[in-house]
Amino acid sequence: MSDAPRKVFPQRIFSGIQPSGGLTLGNYLGALKRFVAAQEDGIETVYCIVDLHAITVWQEPQKLRHATRELAAGFIAAGIDPARSILFNQSQVPAHAELAWIFNCVARMGWLRRMTQFKDKAGKHAEEASVGLFAYPNLMAADILAYHATHVPVGEDQKQHLELTRDIAIKFNHDYGVEFFPVVEPVIEGAATRVMSLRDGTKKMSKSDPSDQSRINLTDDADAIAQKIRKARTDPEPLPESLEGLEGRAEARNLVNIYASLADILPEAVIGEFGGQGFGAFKPALAELAVEKLAPINAEMRRLMEDQAEIDRLLGQGAERAQAIAEPILAQTREIVGLIRSRTG
């Protein structure tokens, strides 16, 4: 590769969330809350409800429709303003699927075989997994690169997919001798890049965990939130006086990080306030904070879900704006690849 300075692309933020079940506290702190912060920074923000990703595993159509609208309500309730950010569902902008096909022809089998998320999701049944589940990271690269996005805020678990996105952009640019796709920057920051299960501090908090006690859902009411935090697994020691004291205490560290992220303070400050105190004191404070921050989002989501036609209308408007960005980029991509434009209409 040459040492020539890379072309500088204007900043644009893109990220997505799957409508495959409800939003968890992990999605909120690791992604959604930071999407809102990015919107406030004044950079163009494009947020996508990735319904085509969701169907890589079986989705009941009726539930998928509900989850898509509920996720849209979650975005808006958390602070995404559909007038300032572009908010839409992926399947409404065909550029995603089309660019994904081109990337299927750029990415190598070996690259995808290394993806740990495929291994985790397909488990021992890789032969029965859908082809879509295997090729999923190429669609994710297409989501991002169809907008020439430069920055992608995500939780820690998406890091490997973003590295693949970079590899695809580099290989495409190299193979075709262009500087067309930006090499994206993952934005994985804050105290809650990996929120862990409330039942097991070594496992990620996930919507697919069979135990509902392992996670806080954005649809949980105040009682459920408080009860789940009260019952969260911990050790018998009080909180340490310094951050190093959390070493080897995954559950304690997780609760401290959740507190820090909800309160917009550093984990050090949480330790400064609660160091030396037991969970008997810390858990009620955390529960109170979580309810204070999440209950208004929960209430707003319910209110928005009463007018589903309005949600569809907002998503449709977002899709029009998304299409206006992605379609010219796709037209240039076809040109670069050598797909002739034969239609005049």
Contact residues for ligand TYM, defined by CB under 6 A: 14-18, 26-27, 30-31, 50, 53, 140, 143-144, 152, 154-155, 157-158, 161, 192-195, 204-205
Using an 8 Å Cβ cutoff, are 163 and 121 in contact? no
- Catalytic hit among 63, 121, 159, 283: 121
CB of 198 to ligand TYM, least distance (A): 11
Marked catalytic residue, from 63, 159, 171, 207:
207
Which position among 33, 204, 228, 293 bears the catalytic label? 204
Contacts of residue 137, Cβ cutoff 8 Å, sequence gap at least 6: 107, 112, 115, 117, 118, 161, 164, 165
Confirm whether 121 is a catalytic residue. yes
Query: 248: exposed, middle or buried (C-beta count within 10 Å: 0-12, 13-18, 19+)?
Result: exposed
CB of 146 to ligand TYM, least distance (A): 10
What minimum distance in Å lies between the beta carbon of 95 and ligand TYM? 13
Tell the smallest beta-carbon distance from residue 27 to ligand TYM (Å).
4
Is the Cβ of residue 103 or residue 339 nearer to ligand TYM in the bound state?
103
Using the minimum distance from each CB to ligand TYM, give the nearer residue, 193 or 217.
Answer: 193
Nearer to ligand TYM, 26 or 267 (CB): 26
C-beta of 14 vs 259, nearer to ligand TYM: 14
Count of positions (residues) in the chain = 345
Q: What residues are labeled active site?
A: 121, 204, 207
